[in-house]
């Protein structure tokens, strides 16, 4: 089995693949953990799912939190007995990276591009809803061009609440009307419909620069809740990043995890 790990600023998502099928997945909180804490947490997840650690014979990690990298590497090596592969631009990704400074591209953005091209072809725009909202663009020649980064919805709400003592915290759901009738509805309208509008504006500007429309695929925690209010997102693929990790592992190891 193959362990895939997507380390984000807020959450760390783990998945286990049997061949090409995602058999299990979990979500942990990212943060300052020791290798022992991480290793024991993974083993406990495996135990609850009836999985023996000896079944895992490969691991790959996409991380945008460098302070976690060493502890996570040690946890996988010590507790699973596997040498993990970390995603960088030095790997064979199967897509050309045309970012001006390739080493600055987040590993998750590259992984999404790889999975997006494999599943949906090119050209393509991928929207990832996480701590930040990222839009990544792949050309018709299947080259990663770059994209845009905006604050995620949770970050936007935290900034709003931090500066306005009287505003209540609200859930990330859209009210029935853009014109909110209460303070809670007004905040929800601004966050949900505002985010949808931001996505549509950026996508249309990207299309204008490309000289034509593309398919738009969304992934990430809030993708499902926001996409219904956008006019440009066609598809939601919640496991796009994990699938990209599997593809990169196979491309660089020459094998498929059993």
Which amino acids are annotated catalytic?
Answer: 108
Nearest-angstrom CA–CA distance, 29 and 85: 21
């Amino acid at each position: 089995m193959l362990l895939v790990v997507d380390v984000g600023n807020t959450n760390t998502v783990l998945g286990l693949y049997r061949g090409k099928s995602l058999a299990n997945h979990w979500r942990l909180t990212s943060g300052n953990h020791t290798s022992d804490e991480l290793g024991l947490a993974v083993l406990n997840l495996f135990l609850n799912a009836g999985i023996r650690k000896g079944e895992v014979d490969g691991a790959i990690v996409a991380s945008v939190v460098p302070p976690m990298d060493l502890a996570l590497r040690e946890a996988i090596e010590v507790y699973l007995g596997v040498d993990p592969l970390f995603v960088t631009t030095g790997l064979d990704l199967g897509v050309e990276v045309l970012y001006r400074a390739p080493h600055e591209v987040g590993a998750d953005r590259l992984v999404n591009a790889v999975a997006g091209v494999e599943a949906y072809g090119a050209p393509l725009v991928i929207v990832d809803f996480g701590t930040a909202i990222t839009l990544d663009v792949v050309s018709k020649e299947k080259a990663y061009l770059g994209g845009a980064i905006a604050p995620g919805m949770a970050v936007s709400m935290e900034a709003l609440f931090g500066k306005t003592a009287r505003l209540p915290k609200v859930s990330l759901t859209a009210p029935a009307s853009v014109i909110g009738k209460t303070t809670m509805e007004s905040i929800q309208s601004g966050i949900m419909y505002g985010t949808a509008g931001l996505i549509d504006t950026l996508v249309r500007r990207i299309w204008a620069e490309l000289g034509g429309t593309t398919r738009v695929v969304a992934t990430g925690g809030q993708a499902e809740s926001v996409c219904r209010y956008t006019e440009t997102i066609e598809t939601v693929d919640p496991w796009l990043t994990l699938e990209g990790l599997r593809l990169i592992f196979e491309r660089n190891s020459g094998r498929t995890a059993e």
